[in-house]
Structures are given as C-alpha cells and as structure tokens.
Amino acid sequence: MIEVFETNTPEETEEVGRKLAEESTPGQVFTLIGDLGVGKTVFTQGFATGLNIDEAICSPTFTIVQEYDTGRLPFYHFDVYRIGDVEEMDEIGYEDYVYGDGVCLIEWANLIQEILPEHYIQITIEKNLEKGFDYRKITIEHI
C-alpha cells in the first residue's frame, strides 16, 4: 500500500505526521528518509504531537536515540546519520527498541538497511522546486 501526500507549509507536513502517529500501534517501526532540510524534524514533531507528547523534539544526531515516555505509547526517535557501522546499533540496545512495545521512528534508516525489521512503514520526503520552494511530497509505504 502506498499513500502520497503533498504539502506546501511546515504545518501541513506536521499534520501528516500527527495523523500517522494517532493510528500507530505498539511495536510499529517507521523509517524516515529525505535530504537535509527537507522536513524530517518538522514531520517528527508532528508525529510526537500525534502520540500526545508535548515536548519539543530535538534531533538525536549525537546520541542516536532519544526516548519520550510521556505520550500514549513510548516513542523512540532515532537519527542514525552519524553511525559508522551498524554494530554501533547493538551497543545502544537497538533490538530492544525495535522489538519492544513502543513506536520507533528512524531518520536516515537507509544507512542501517540490513538491520531493519521485516516489516516497517517507510516515509520518504522529497522536494520538487518546480512546484515551489515549500512544496514537499510525502510518500508512505508499508514494507
């Protein structure tokens, strides 16, 4: 199943994230792929709001994972941009998060493709400058 959303403001992108999180269930893994500045953090902020987390989301670029326990479900936000080797994921307890009862969202998941679970929900955000500077295409695919 593939769904496509087109947005023209950060608020609309947050809204797509919020709705997806509202429907999320324990153990689901979401991957988030897109270039720098495309809106991954904006999307994640909306996603957290959809889990009733009212904290600001910061990208865990140096810590790899940030946990939020105040929402409807535990939320594990990963940013794997800086990992050198997938073995570093073992060291932070990756399997416990991914096969646990919370919801994982993994930015730059394409860098750890070989250790992704069998099923996950892949979110891709892309620009298209022909459609305007603030246009984003968000593709959601169940893998």
Rounded Cα distance, 77 and 103, in Å:
8
Both tokens assigned to 37: 């500045």
Kindly report the number of other CB atoms within 10 A of residue 96's CB atom: 10
- Decide which of Mg ion, ligand ADP, none touches 67; Cβ closer than 5 to 8 Å per partner kind: none
Rounded Cα distance, 69 and 77, in Å:
11
Q: Indicate which single residue of 1, 2, 36, 56 sits in contact with ligand ADP (rule: CB under 6 A).
A: 36
Q: Is 41 in the site for Mg ion (CB under 5 A)?
A: yes
Task: Decide whether 27 or 81 has the Cβ nearer to ligand ADP.
Answer: 81
Q: Indicate which single residue of 20, 21, 33, 38 sits in contact with ligand ADP (rule: CB under 6 A).
A: 38
The residue whose Cβ lies closest to ligand ADP is 39
Tell which positions 7-26 bind ligand ADP, by CB under 6 A. 7-10, 12-13
Per-residue contact track with ligand ADP, 91 to 120, x per CB under 6 A? ------------------------------
Determine whether 23 is exposed, middle or buried from the number of CB atoms within 10 Å of its CB (0-12, 13-18, 19+): exposed
Q: What angle do CA 99, 36, 57 make, to 5 degrees?
A: 55
Q: Is 49 in the site for ligand ADP (CB under 6 A)?
A: no
- Which among 70, 67, 16 has a CA at the least distance from the CA of 44? 16
Rounded Cα distance, 49 and 77, in Å:
13
Q: Is 40 in the site for ligand ADP (CB under 6 A)?
A: yes
Task: Decide whether 40 or 89 has the Cβ nearer to ligand ADP.
Answer: 40
Both tokens assigned to 117: 């679970």
Which residues here bind ligand ADP, judged by CB under 6 A? 7-10, 12-13, 34, 36-42, 134, 136
